[in-house]
Amino acid sequence: MVPQCDCATVHNLRVHARFHAPDAQVPGDLVLLPTEEAEHLTRVLRLKAGDSLRVFNGRGGEFDATVEQAGKSGVRVRLRSARQPAKEASVAITLAQAVLKGDKMDDVVRDAVMLGVAAIQPVVTERTEITRALLARGRRGDRWERIAISSAKQCGRATVPPILEPLEFPDLADALATLTLPQPALMFVEPDTGADASMLSEMDQSPQREATVIIGPEGGWASGEIERAASVCRMVTLGGRTLRADAMPVVALSALFTIWREF
């Protein structure tokens, strides 16, 4: 189940209602909303033909629009005019996150989108307790995509970051090894792993265009993974704290957005 609608404020201010309309392109267009969005519009917010709304296409386009038709055959909205979308972060961070247990990965997707990542790369590591086959069978990617859309709706982003196909850790490391850009890849490790890690505050803090942030599972990294990663990315730690695995992405992203002056 996708997280419940949490837009109590929006309910009181219908003019701010905001919907995902992936087909929205240019003002004047008549656009069909996806089924889930149409149901949110008719059943939860009870908007009707003639009501105003905002739509975003998930690729940076944001529009003022009007409900033209809201019935059993779906909801169609007319794009009135383009709006300035919320500013995206100037550093494009890909969060390479080891898949966490249960619904904790859902929260990570929701929060990473809210904070402004450019993409999410789920990773299956040695201590991840689920396989890529099970992720595919459970359609977890579809679920994470719905959560990403829902988070973008709430946080005001007009861009929905893609959820990439899950990778095994060695394949992620190989991919990082082929990067020729000056893109930093940072792997967060616990202080007691013996990895040659530096504190974030010791790191080069000059602005970046792109970065990959790699975060491990509940059981931490296996020593072979730390060895493999050492040749393709910088190892960083947040000092002596022991943080919960599911809190780590928000803390790490907040710290990096601070260092790269997004806040």
> Which CB sits closer to a second copy, 116 or 184?
116
> Looking at beta carbons only, is 101 or 132 nearer to a second copy?
101
Q: What is the DSSP secondary structure assignment for residue 225, as one 8-state letter? A: H
Count of positions (residues) in the chain = 263
The piece of 25-33, 133-141, 164-172, 251-259 that touches a second copy (CB under 8 A) is 251-259
Query: Could you tell me which of 119, 131, 220 has the C-alpha nearest to residue 175?
Result: 119
Using CB under 8 A as the binding rule, whether residue 257 contacts a second copy is answered as yes
Other C-beta atoms within 10 Å of 63: how many?
25
Using the rule CB under 8 A, is 29 a contact of a second copy?
A: no
Q: What sign does the dihedral 191-192-193-198 (CA atoms) show? A: positive
Q: Which residues, numbered 5-24, are part of the site for a second copy (CB under 8 A)? A: 6, 8-9
Q: Report residue 191 CA to chain centroid gap.
A: 26
Residues β-bridged to residue 52:
66
24: three-class secondary structure by DSSP:
coil
Q: How far is the CB of 178 from a second copy (least distance, A)?
A: 29
x-or-dash string of contact with a second copy, 168-207, rule CB under 8 A = -------------------------------xxx------
Site map 103..142 versus a second copy, x via CB under 8 A: --------x--xxx--------------------------
By CB under 8 A, is residue 160 in contact with a second copy? no
Cα-based angle 88, 114, 185 (whole degrees, multiple of 5): 70
Q: Is 92 in the site for a second copy (CB under 8 A)?
A: no
Q: Give the one residue of 29, 51, 168, 218 binding a second copy; rule: CB under 8 A.
A: 218
| Token digits of residue 225 | 């993974």
- Give the three-class secondary structure for 218: coil
100 closest CA partner among 193, 235, 220, 2: 220
Would you tell me which residues interact with a second copy (CB under 8 A)?
Answer: 6, 8-9, 86-87, 111, 114-116, 154-156, 199-201, 218-219, 238-244, 247, 250-251, 254-255, 257-259, 261-263
